[in-house]
Structure 1
């Protein structure tokens, strides 16, 4: 059996709760190196996984035996680390948002093409069973023509999740570049593109800093339009102080789909004729579950390497989802509807 040698760059909460445990659970991967600028933090995981400890990612990437890396750093480092890793012949799984600009995203895609290695962006919402089921129902025509949607992703903020709490890089513009829209909104732009099966062409947005001490957005609401004319709203927020909201509702000609809107039934289909079908497909992964549910991301990434098949969320896919977010920011700044090229 082939065993891939994995390095994890950035040892914060997403690495601790998602990437490392999920690699460790697979028989086909071995974490051989970890890296963090806080040496003590890296040391903890080095001991836990019997991995070599680094504080400089450039030094780590010089190791020719490493097959693949997870990039779990602050957003501004996603592109430079991913590009160098690809140039050094490593497959790359990069956290979202993939980059802080179109130029960076394009450079990442080019690096993947030139290296012949896989580049996957860690958008886990595509692997949620209710979302997969909804995509199938829409594609099959079961819902008829889709008219509109509303989707939200909000919780109390990264200070309850990040390894650095209220002092987290998430609140620092020079490191994060973008706040709730980059942390949560980009997940939903990716999900909606996937479930609806088409691209967004226009966005109007209000992006505000209203609940946190920091210089990035924490509350955003967008109105989006697809190429076929489906319109809807996307809300992303760090100001939902009680239960996390990760719901999506899709309104169609023959019925309504409620995704992750009910604590028991992860998908509820309400049909025009009065019929209601409730599905228990397993819940969505949340920050509160302590990583108890697998995201599906690591398994898919590893499988794409071992089978030499393109990952579901390639660099190009990550770029399209990022473009929606960048256009939303532009809309908020200019107070204009922005066309998404």
Structure 2
């Protein structure tokens, strides 16, 4: 195979974005050959936009059966990601899914099992893993530069959304249409980076989700979560869509220092010696370890979606390791599922997550949602 022929399922905002990258010639070894969408208006747009150079189908099954594609990109609403992926994998094509991996961990686990059985490449569009800033953070933590991780704090509240935004689609910010709010729509990248950069998943979590705070919506738009880890570390994750101005600040503290990321810059506070060692030898009541403040140089531009598409193409053609394997989508989703479940139960939630209990509680919210899953839903923004 000299090139990967891509098909896109869902040609809305994200799907058309991927189409633009693939048709730009930026991705070596990749070509867009087909798209599909259940909405006639989207199909008509595609036919006009691509001027007959890309085949247009109504559904994924016909597109895949046409023999025109080697790999597909799933850019449909959240609930449909696993079903579309499983169907495509079963027909022998490679699959790259948009984030989130799904809405609840149980369905994503089924997708992961299908991917493992298929022998095909399976990736997820966690484009923030391509960002040199977070790659450097992961490298520094893994190398032991700040010692043992003790505390993680992330305030990510620069998602400001108005009521007009929420009113722009009947499916938006509903349990039936999206399956959640800020955790499912805006925060999947941060939830992924939280565990990917630190290499740790919590052992238990207590969360406080506020539903429709300052907005007329069903789902969570303000969240504060606290997590504990096996090694004694703790984490606090705060997010909101109604803070103005918002904040995006990540701190990871360890036994040998602290890393802060804010305003696309990284600062390393490096202790001269491990805090435990200093504490053991110190004889002064108000002493503190010597610390060096290091402003790391700008990490440079991130290739974002184009980087993920190139990496996935290289994985199919040359066996290059995936930066974002699709199977890893379950980790960040598990964190958001745990936050929901903790709030619904008003209690601690242990990890591994009770996936059946979460699904049952989610279904209660879906049953009373103003959006019914039988309604058509256009792809999210």
Which residue does the alignment assign to 1:336? 347
Which residue does the alignment assign to 1:156? 160
Query: SS at 1:176's partner residue?
Result: coil
8 A contact 2:122–2:327 mirrored in 1: no
Which residue does the alignment assign to 1:192? 194
Q: Distance in 1 between matches of 2:251 and 2:333?
A: 22
- Distance of aligned partners of 1:118 and 1:236 in 2 relative to their CA distance in 1, 3 Å threshold: farther
Shift of 1:58: 2.6
Q: Could you say which structure has the greater relative contact order, defined with CA pairs below 8 angstroms and 6 or more residues apart?
A: 2
8 A contact 1:22–1:299 mirrored in 2: no
Which residue does the alignment assign to 1:317? 328
Q: Distance in 2 between matches of 1:21 and 1:247?
A: 32
1:176-255 equivalences in 2 (<5 Å): 176-209=178-211, 210-242=213-245, 245-255=247-257
Q: Distance in 1 between matches of 2:215 and 2:313?
A: 37
Q: How many residue pairs get matched?
A: 327
Matched, 1:105 2:105: no
Shift of 1:165: 7.1
Shift of 1:299: 1.7
TM-score (norm. length: structure 1): 0.87
8 A contact 1:204–1:337 mirrored in 2: yes
Q: Of residues 76, 79, 88 in structure 1, which corresponds to 2:79?
A: 76
Shift of 1:213: 2.8
Q: Distance in 2 between matches of 1:40 and 1:108?
A: 30
Matched, 1:269 2:248: no
Query: SS at 2:113's partner residue?
Result: helix
Query: SS at 1:170's partner residue?
Result: coil
1:13-32 equivalences in 2 (<5 Å): 13-17=13-17, 19-24=18-23, 25-32=26-33
- Distance of aligned partners of 1:221 and 1:176 in 2 relative to their CA distance in 1, 3 Å threshold: same
Which residue does the alignment assign to 1:44? 45
Specify the structure having the higher radius of gyration (Cα).
Answer: 2
Which residue does the alignment assign to 2:282? none
Q: Distance in 2 between matches of 1:99 and 1:169?
A: 16
- Distance of aligned partners of 1:297 and 1:246 in 2 relative to their CA distance in 1, 3 Å threshold: farther
Gapped regions of structure 2 (runs ≥ 5) = 272-290, 353-381
- Distance of aligned partners of 1:237 and 1:202 in 2 relative to their CA distance in 1, 3 Å threshold: same
Gapped regions of structure 1 (runs ≥ 5) = 286-292
Matched, 1:121 2:139: no
8 A contact 1:188–1:234 mirrored in 2: no
Q: Distance in 2 between matches of 1:48 and 1:135?
A: 40
8 A contact 2:308–2:323 mirrored in 1: no
8 A contact 1:181–1:237 mirrored in 2: no
8 A contact 1:198–1:227 mirrored in 2: no
Q: Distance in 1 between matches of 2:61 and 2:164?
A: 30
Q: Distance in 1 between matches of 2:318 and 2:163?
A: 38
Query: SS at 2:226's partner residue?
Result: strand
